[in-house]
Structure 1
Amino acid sequence: MSDDKMLARIAALLRQAEGTDNAHEAEAFMAAAQRLATATSIDLAVARSHADQRTKAQTPVQRTITIGNAGARGLRTYVQLFVLIAGANDVKCDIASNSTFVYAYGFAEDIDASHALYASLVTQMVKASEAYIATGDHRPTPTITARINFQLAFGARIGKRLAEAREQARQEATKSRTSQPGTAIALRD
């Protein structure tokens, strides 16, 4: 399956996660998207390990991901979310001192998958934090503090789930008897 088709499939799962009001459904769609992204990354790692020479598509790249405008409150929560997603997709990050952008380093398809997951999850995070703030359950904590704490916790929870989904996909790839041994070799490197 081509990278574009795989990204479209992941994006469709993310749209389903965004479109539901049921938290369990959203988590299931998000986990499926992460498993697919991880499995694709593993498949790509196998292909890379068999290539004699690196092509342009196999060369790691650096991209700048804009997080928000300078002076906006809570940008570190958005950065935390992106960094956790990126880490689950083998993308390394450097963060601007004012948290307005992130330099992402990795393979283009891994950065694309990370960005697609981030675009979906940041929308879900903002929507969920607004719903929480609207309930008033955060009082007497100031609204901005409650929003930041909620978003930090949301990011941490997503990071944990993505790590679990990634580990599950790795275990499935390494223990499957029907797959070629190249996947295990690529994961060991």
Structure 2
Amino acid sequence: MTSTTSSTVERAFRAALYAETDTALDTGASLLAGDPAADAELARRGREFVSAAWRRGWQPADVVRIVRRELDDVHVRLASELIRAQAPDDRPRGPRWRAQLDELAEQAAETAAAPPRTDRFTHATTVLELYRLLLRLPGLEPLEEHEPPAGRQPRPESRMLTRIRALLAKAEATGFPEEAEALTAKAQELSARHSIDEALLAARAPSPDAPGACRIGVEAPYEQAKAVLLDAVATANHCRAVWNEPFAFSTVVGFEADLEAVELLYTSLLVQATTAMTKAETAQRAGGRRRTKTFRQSFLAAYAHRIGTRLAAAAETQVTDDLLPVLASREVAVTAQTDRMFPETTTTRLRGVSDEAGWTEGAQAADRAQVGARPRLP
């Protein structure tokens, strides 16, 4: 790096990063476009912006999510490149963080044939738009990942989780709503058993696990109803969910085995709810109905409300009186961790739930999963 290239980048940043106008952006992009020798320094500064985001509590998936929401696909690709370029210089991270980096690498491989950038000015404009966003990211609650205690091997990506994934895959693939929801209920029972096994193991360990947290995207449209659905799934799996509406995610606090179950079940239920909603909406349209937005919002709200009851009932089939003290102590730990991370939270009323047909259809879609009592798992 020379003083000249550094000066070019600094002048471009002063012109573009601290002002909102297109004129300021054009000025900065012109400076960078006219000095190819500044490219390496510009990339280095981008990696510094990424590192600063990590220090403020952001994670790779969070950054990509906010860039996708606020900017365009070209900015998302650039952000992914910066994150992957910064990774070798980063400190050791936990398995969830590494999984996010792996996902970015897989996505990059899938889009390797993307068209190349056009001209230097356009590329410089894209870079400055991205850096402007990264610079202004606020602080988030830091998430801690807990590795297994020394001498204890991590639980295998257990056969239980493999079975849960298989059940949910079948639920998403079937064309029969009753079958899909029965498979989901069975997956919840397995998740409850997996959670209990982990709880008993931790209770016997010299250094029990501590609650952790993860962020799960809750994105438009109908994000309120989706947040309610995620909260229902989290509650049924001994976790707590706190929704951050401005940044389109919920933070779920809980023990690792439960966090895995929440991610799996929420993703699957969202797919199933969307499928059921689309079918119900098609029938409504055939009858001459046009109010799509209110129907969908009400459908998802009703689905989330009813599914919470179903999941809780499925989880309770695995709990016996002798397990209550163990589960209660973990619930206290999760609540305490949530209160430490979020000392101030507010409640919000679900808006836009005004469509009777949508509510009825959503409730019926969830009710079909009530398949009666099930025998205890071996």
**Which among 67, 76, 96 is matched to residue 218 of structure 2?**
67
Q: Which residue of 1 aligns with 2:176?
A: 22
For residues 64-103 of structure 1, the aligned pairs below 5 Å read 64-68=215-219, 72-98=220-246, 100-103=248-251
Structure 1 residues 120 and 18: CA distance shift in structure 2, 3 A: same
Greater C-alpha radius of gyration: 2
Structure 1 residues 45 and 16: CA distance shift in structure 2, 3 A: same
Shift of residue 141, structure 1, vs aligned partner: 6.7
1:80 is paired with a residue whose SS is helix
Q: Is the 8 A contact 1:3 1:109 kept in 2?
A: no
Structure 1 residues 187 and 61: CA distance shift in structure 2, 3 A: closer
**1:34-62 per-position Cα deviation (integer Å, ceiling 9, x unaligned):** 000001111111111112223xxx22112
**1:84-112 per-position Cα deviation (integer Å, ceiling 9, x unaligned):** 00111111111113371001111111111
Within the alignment, does 1:43 sit opposite 2:197 as a pair? Answer: yes
Structure 1 residues 99 and 131: CA distance shift in structure 2, 3 A: farther
Return the structure number with greater relative CO, CA threshold 8 A, min gap 6. Answer: 1
Distance in 1 between residues matched to 2:261 and 2:205, nearest whole Å: 22
- Structure 2: give runs of 5+ residues left out of the alignment: 1-154, 330-378
1:63 is paired with a residue whose SS is strand
Distance in 1 between residues matched to 2:294 and 2:246, nearest whole Å: 18
Distance in 2 between residues matched to 1:97 and 1:184, nearest whole Å: 34
For residues 141-180 of structure 1, the aligned pairs below 5 Å read 142-170=291-319, 174=320
TM-score, normalization by structure 2: 0.43
For residues 105-120 of structure 1, the aligned pairs below 5 Å read 105-120=253-268
Distance in 1 between residues matched to 2:231 and 2:324, nearest whole Å: 26
2:310 is paired with a residue whose SS is helix
- Structure 1: give runs of 5+ residues left out of the alignment: 176-180
Shift of residue 158, structure 1, vs aligned partner: 1.2
Report % sequence identity: 32
Structure 1 residues 59 and 188: CA distance shift in structure 2, 3 A: closer
Cα RMSD of the aligned pairs, angstroms, is 2.0
